[in-house]
Amino acid sequence: MNAPIPNIISEPPRIMQLGEAAINRIAAGEVVERPASAVKELVENALDAGARRIEIACADGGKTLIRVADDGHGIRASDLPLALSRHATSKIDGSDLLNIHSYGFRGEALPSLGAVGRLCVASRVDGAEAAEITVLGGAIGFVRPVALPRGTRVELRDLFHATPARLKFLRSDRAEAQAVTDTVRRLALSQPFVGFTLRDVSAGGDRVVLRADPEAGDLFDALHSRLARLLGREFAENALRLDAAREGVRLTGYAALPTYARGSAVAQHVFVNSRPVRDKLLLGALRAAYADVLPAGRQPAAAVFVDCDPVLVDVNVHPAKAEVRFRDPGIVRGLVVSGIRHALAEAGHRAASTVSAAALGAMRADLAAPRIYQMDRPGPRPLAAAYAAQSPLDQATGFAETEGLSSRHAVEPSGENDDARHRPLGAACAQVHENYILAQTEDGLVIVDQHAAHERLVYERLKADLAGHGVAAQVLLIPDIVDLGEGAETILAAAEDLHRMGLAVEPFGQGSVAVRETPAILGTVDAKALLTDILDELTDAEDGGDSASLRKRIDAVLSRMACHGSVRSGRRMQAEEMNALLREMEATPLSGQCNHGRPTYVELKLGDIERLFGRR
């Protein structure tokens, strides 16, 4: 009965001051999460030192070796011991924690790295001798001379040797090496005028993983070249320039065309005052800018730079400085959304070049074409004779002879058609399977999905009308009565918004509504099918789906309406209609993709077509 109860302590524990080594190891847990975190801190220090070239070497994913060398202004020999002390920095004086113009400012990186690994820092400033200092398990050594050109070299070996439990949480060497590469790539994107080289020196090797030489030209030219080098030439070819400003905040960078979408967010790079961040506000704004031009499950690709006075943004809200907090987030979000949408609208009907490449890839045979030797090629005279023998008897008949084929509706050649061939989408030549328009351009062929293209055109007209004086409506002589069951209440609750869109509905008994007006632009529509689609969209919005906001809900409803008022697949079109569709596509922003984000046309250059047939 008198046995002590184990959960009750008779005497409270004493409060003790932790040792410096323990404090640094705890702090290192926040700053140095993995090898990529160490690389980030060291490279940012090099950038703050004004480096123009930065060399990074890693072994075993950075677990056994990380070495960063730069040509910056260096550290004085007398300051080396102080540089390894916590909260010692040359970047701020502590009087203003908001007016920060550098990457680093806390003075935690070097002491944290020294607490969990074997650290050696060597540096030299102009007009002085080079010196180095080492740290082992938090114990700082003596300063000693060393041979080194101007700049700083930081070498970190055996990361987490002082905290071996942390090693168990690291991923494979390959995964950690990829994380290091991604980190260097983001920093290299933020500074196009600085050269970066990343090497893998595992097992005594020396393999260049990433190399980005300093770019030349103005900011946009340099950034475009850096994007092409690090994100691929396809991204650079399909990226639109961003340049907008609002109330002291400037947006620059490049955003890819909607048809260059990716399956994940790996190609989304966001920077605030040149600092790479993974900020929810900015990433959400980026996705919102592409809201009605991307298919479900696809992600936009962009490199977005937001620059503002440092006092307007707090970068000290996350241990790794990966998130920021703006004084006025609404201005920043609105600028990103409107800036990207404006760039997409200015691109007009343009679609990504990768669409054509994918089409060519699907058409190419799996087997390589047999090699043709010069001796096997016919000469010009046999070729001319063969062409004459293969030509139709009536040279004037031309393509119009195909009127008897199943995929017909060819267009007679005319002077007007010849002029249209110089337009971006060319002149309509034929309609195939009553769904695809074939148009000849000056240097190739365009294939247009007539329903997808017209759907986008109707959608943009509806949005423009709604933004003006509302969508024009046509009164039905006899109202359509539609039975929607429980969904009638949802439709009637949105009746006011629907009326602005040209759709007038009234209650008509239990579970039914009467449709008295429909949007004039849609022509004759199936009222039941239209209301059923709108009900689906409104139900998704109530459930907190992607259409949760009023604006997105309205756009989604207009998109559903546009589908019902578009040229249907299977409808035969006259030459004038096809050419009118092509001309309107050229004049309508975002017509390169339908409301669901799929491309509306594919362009094949003449050279591509010739390669398909082995003529090149």
3-state secondary structure 317-368: CCCCCCCCEECCHHHHHHHHHHHHHHHHHHCCCCCCHHHHHHHHHHHCCCCC
What gap in Å lies between CA 340 and CA 84, rounded to an integer? Answer: 44
Contact call for residues 341 and 252 (beta carbons, < 8 A)? no
Which CATH code is given to the segment(s) 20-212?
A: 3.30.565.10
Roughly what angle, to the nearest 10 degrees, separates helices 550-564 and 527-542? Answer: 160
Instruction: Tell me the residue length of the chain.
Output: 616
Residues 6+ apart with CB under 8 A from 194: 47, 51, 52, 53, 54, 188, 214
Predicted confidence at residue 616, as pLDDT, reads 66
The domain locations on the chain are: 20-212, 219-347, 407-616
Predicted confidence at residue 387, as pLDDT, reads 45
What gap in Å lies between CA 442 and CA 423, rounded to an integer? Answer: 8
Looking at residue 372, what DSSP letter applies?
Answer: -
Comparing CA positions, the residue from 210, 217, 153, 215 lying closest to residue 190 is 215
Looking at residue 314, what DSSP letter applies?
Answer: E
- For the chain, what percentages of helix, strand and coil (3-state, to nearest 5) are there? 40, 20, 40
Q: How far apart, in Å, are the Cα atoms of 383 and each of 386, 395, 611?
A: 5, 18, 19
Which regions of 116-273 does DSSP assign to beta strands (E)? 118-124, 131-136, 139-140, 144-145, 151-157, 195-200, 207-212, 239-246, 249-256, 268-272
Find the distance separating the first CA and the last CA of the chain, reported in whole Å. Answer: 98
What type of residue sits at position 499?
Answer: H
Q: How far apart, in Å, are the Cα atoms of 339 and each of 19, 120, 455?
A: 52, 46, 25
Burial of 567: CB neighbours in 10 Å, binned 0-12, 13-18, 19+: buried
- Domain range 219-347, CATH architecture: 2-Layer Sandwich (3.30)
What gap in Å lies between CA 307 and CA 250, rounded to an integer? Answer: 5
Within the chain, what is the greatest distance between any pair of CA atoms? 118
Low-confidence ranges of the chain (pLDDT < 50): 365-377, 383, 386-387, 389-408, 543-548
Contact call for residues 431 and 573 (beta carbons, < 8 A)? yes
Predicted confidence at residue 611, as pLDDT, reads 80
Predicted confidence at residue 398, as pLDDT, reads 34
What type of residue sits at position 135?
Answer: V
What gap in Å lies between CA 551 and CA 604, rounded to an integer? Answer: 37
Please name the fold of domain 407-616: formyl-coa transferase, domain 3 (3.30.1540)
Residue 183 structure tokens: 């980190």
